[in-house]
Structure 1
Amino acid sequence: MNPSNHRAYNFNAGPSALPLEVLEKAQKELTNFRGTGMSIMEMSHRSAAFEEVHNGAISRLRKLYSISDEYEVLFLQGGASLQFSMIPMNFLKAGQKAGYVMSGSWSEKAIKEAKLFGEPYQVASTKENQYRNIPSLENIEFNSEDAYVHVTSNNTIYGTQWSKFPNTGDVPLIADMSSDIMSKPVDVNQFGMIYAGAQKNLGPSGVTVVIVRKDLLEKANTEIPTILKYSTHADNNSLYNTPPTFGIYMLGEVLNWIEEKGGLEAVAKNNEEKANLIYDAIDDSNGFYTGHATLESRSLMNITFRVADEKLEKQFLVEAAEAGFVGLAGHRSVGGCRASTYNAVPVEACQALREFMIEFQSSNS
């Protein structure tokens, strides 16, 4: 356990670590939000106090990603999983197809939902390689008449991440960035839409960020339920129904924290440093630890690996938990180990894990 503040070394894949500074500020404001005599959770979502919080979060997000006025920024509910359905409902018209790049479990879930509304198809897949890598850009083939092309920018379960995105030209590129949003600079203009659940890099669970180009909204399907239209939320500044007010407040504070840390370039540099601490322990272990992802596709957010044999792997996870490390077990679908090093995970936690891994290897080789 970290002796300085008695907080766990939190490597959970989501919900995941939040910045301690943000938690402490929320703690101070919890029962009396900025002199209102109420918690942020108690006040009307249409009050002036919450409006300032709401619009401030949108403004910070726009600033950090340099989002132009050609895009709407929405705060929705239902997680990224609801977007798997909303995207084809809104954008996949009769007679159209949509291309899906298969890079892991979440892209599998996305295309499954799209099949309920139209004709999605795989434009590339690395499933035959156990999703150890991101598909090569030259292997991504789609049709110019497609409604959109969908990618998952970072794959939490398999520990892979896109370093460059395909150029889809006039076909809108839609990206699920749930597990690496705001972890590095991104050219939003390359995308027709970006969406992300907040619970990994942006705040607590309950808020989903959607960045969507306005021209897509203008051409979207209209014969769908009101609450499931992106235009409904865009026309009402994400206040058509009661939003997750506390989650939006926390999201705004996390974005403020990113600004205070020096913005996305500084955050990206920090994330690379953290990931390399652990990857180096894997690479220098002479096979005691083996990474799942290929070198060129390694994620800076989710580091997946196996220990020399199954018995030692179980022992590793038990001893790690006893030492104060949380969330190191791999996803139940693949097993193994996984360290999620999202923005709020401090360098000290990654250094501590590196030292634990080296010591465990030394004691069990």
Structure 2
Amino acid sequence: MRIGVPKEIKEQEFRVGLTPAAVRALTEQGHQVWVETQAGQGAGFADEDYQKAGAKLVTTPQEIYQQEMVVKVKEPLPAEYPLLHPDLILFTYLHLAASRELTLALLKSGATCIAYETVELTDGSLPLLMPMSVIAGRLSVQFGAHYLTRQQGGRGVLLGGIPGVSPGRVVILGGGTVGTEAAKMAVGLGARVQILDINLHRLNELELIFGSRVELIYSTTQSVEDCVKDADLLVGAVLVPGSRAPVLVKEDLVAQMRPRSLIVDVAVDQGGCIATTRVTTHAQPVYEAFGVLHYGVANMPGAVPWTSTQALVNATLPYTLKLARFGLPAALEQDPALAKGLNVKAGKLIHPAVQATFPDLS
């Protein structure tokens, strides 16, 4: 198969769809790989590294999208829409529920689009989303600690506190991968941590992980209100695979939070679980609403591209190899998890959650 790897054009997105090691794995199996020049530079991979791995370097995205399959990191942006075509397999993060515009563009293109975030194993786990969720969860507290400093506009709270001064309060909505990793970081800093979730089984699992170091709370409207009001750092970590995130914190509750407290809504790429959340960028990551700072960067792992590129490609490469070796129909038939990643094909919405989000497009 002919495979293209473009340079990401999302603002300050430094990850890349394939590492040189992944390119070598593909070329050793007889596949051809085209890589756009400087595609891996932000993640620490030079053009020469790709050449040594067997890739062919090209200078334009048009040459990349002429191939049979494009492997990238983030969803296509409007400048890339005209490059999509019916003979293309696009393998990347899509998060369609958050963007009607993108969904329409993919339908119009006729391309076959497989979303990393909806590839799902039989146990319900999301193997291609998990590594980025781990990173985003950890970064949510790392960035949270930074923006809570007074110099960044925050309350001036040290999350860990010191003897004689209470630690900061970290409230985490959702006890999945993002929430768990955020809690690990917050506990490590010495913060007071609360996790809210509606899944009692998951709360029991979290007790085995954290013991008494984290307060585990069943999520109701009342418990969310009680916890959020006193939070120094609120982390939105809610996920419904393929669907828009439910809004758990409304504007009036944000208005009751402590002045200059901070919200990091990791669910922003699925629309956000906090009503006042809007998408920001690494260049301008924070804004203020109702006296509360908001961090809404939709590609948080892009801040640590050396780590996150390798983590992502470690997870995606087996599926990329399968698509390249067997072709689309056979690969989807052999691998039910990969089949669940299919979101758009031949101008039609395929994934049930995306269909439910845009019923008029189904």
Q: TM-score, normalised by structure 2?
A: 0.34
Structure 1 length as normaliser, TM-score?
A: 0.34
